[in-house]
Amino acid sequence: MTTQAGTRERDAGYQEMLRTLSEGSVHVHFDPYEDIAWDSPELAIDPADPRWVLSPTHDPLGATAWYQGLPQERQVEIGTARMMNAMKVGAAFESMLIRGLMQYVVALPNGSPEFRYCLHEMTEECNHIQMFQELVNRVGADVPGMRRRLRLASPFIGGVLAALPVALMVSILAGEEPIDHYQKSLLREGGDVPPAVLRTMEIHIAEEARHISFAHEFVKLHVPRLGRANRFALSLYFPLAMRIACEEIMTPPGSLAKRLEIPRDVFEQAFWRSPVSRRIMASYFGDMRALAEEVGLINRASRRLWQRLGIDGERSRYRGEPDRRAELLA
């Protein structure tokens, strides 16, 4: 049974964590225009740069034999569009996060420890949206970004989730983890992407580390305080949110696939029917599986759902642990 002393100790540790994250946002932050030398020769955009070619290890489309057999010019064309569409979708998810967090914080009582940090986080997310869109504009990629159905629903999703703070934080993690894991994997591979893309990734990863830490700790603090029915509902929502967000962020819209002349069977295998692509997708969520296990959200029903959605697997031993099994299977 949880003791009052134990609860107070956890609350004090949580508030100290929020103060630390807030101070980090004050002293270590990035501006999309001051901290990226967009007009420097080093960051010049070269549409023929071979570094636009997709990774055969970490990108599900780049891992297909069809893509690998294309002339480099076509690989570059498709890689550019895929990377920039993911950036544009990422910006759209950041805007959904901001809507949800803003409605959450304005309803908080005075003195709430979350208020200050959430405002810092939203400021950083606004900068990320500017940064991603500036990159898309400079590359000149005419990509659609988020699928139409989610774009229409997005203004309402944040409002609904703001009334369910733990589900909101799970949704934030669902929106941040796939692209964060993908970008970290590319950097671990050597960061062989165009310099402007590399710089935006470095900034995004650095600041998302704080955002992910906050959402992790919020979930760990609040899930044990939920009633049994709410915990069970959250245990099912957790993997659903992860799978849906991954689908929206990492899968290009059909209109873009058609324009790029990606064969239907190749597209379906890459997103997410082949064993390699499913292993890549599951690798995005090692940290999330560990978190769900830690807070008691893995039960018989939820475990089956993780498996059925294709995102089950080993739990990370520590935050950010690379999943080398995906690399071995690629």
Q: Provide the residue-wise pLDDT of the chain in tens; the chain has 330 residues.
A: 455 556 777 889 999 999 999 999 999 889 999 999 999 999 999 999 999 999 999 999 999 999 999 999 999 999 999 999 999 999 999 999 999 999 999 999 999 999 999 999 999 999 999 999 999 999 999 999 999 888 899 889 988 999 999 999 999 999 999 999 999 999 998 879 999 999 999 999 999 999 999 999 999 999 999 999 999 999 999 999 999 999 999 999 999 999 999 999 999 999 999 999 999 999 999 999 999 999 999 999 999 999 999 999 999 888 777 776 555 444
Q: Which helix (H) or strand (E) holds 301?
A: helix 300-308
Parent domain of 142: 12-33+62-329
Is residue 181 situated within a structural domain? yes
Is residue 46 situated within a structural domain? no
Q: Which of 217, 95, 269, 237 is nearest to 164 (CA)?
A: 237
Compute how many other C-beta atoms are within 10 angstroms of the C-beta atom of residue 137: 11
Please give the backbone phi and psi of residue 323, each rounded to the nearest 5 degrees, phi first.
-100, 95
Q: Taking the model in full, what pTM does it have?
A: 0.92
Is residue 236 situated within a structural domain? yes
Is residue 3 situated within a structural domain? no
Separation between Cα atoms, residue 130 and residue 88, nearest integer Å: 10
Is residue 317 situated within a structural domain? yes
Number of domains in the chain: 1
Cβ neighbourhood burial of 140 (10 Å; 0-12, 13-18, 19+): exposed
- For position 101, which CATH number holds? 1.10.620.20
Is residue 52 situated within a structural domain? no
Ramachandran area for residue 292 (φ above 0: left; ψ -120 to 50: alpha; else beta)? alpha
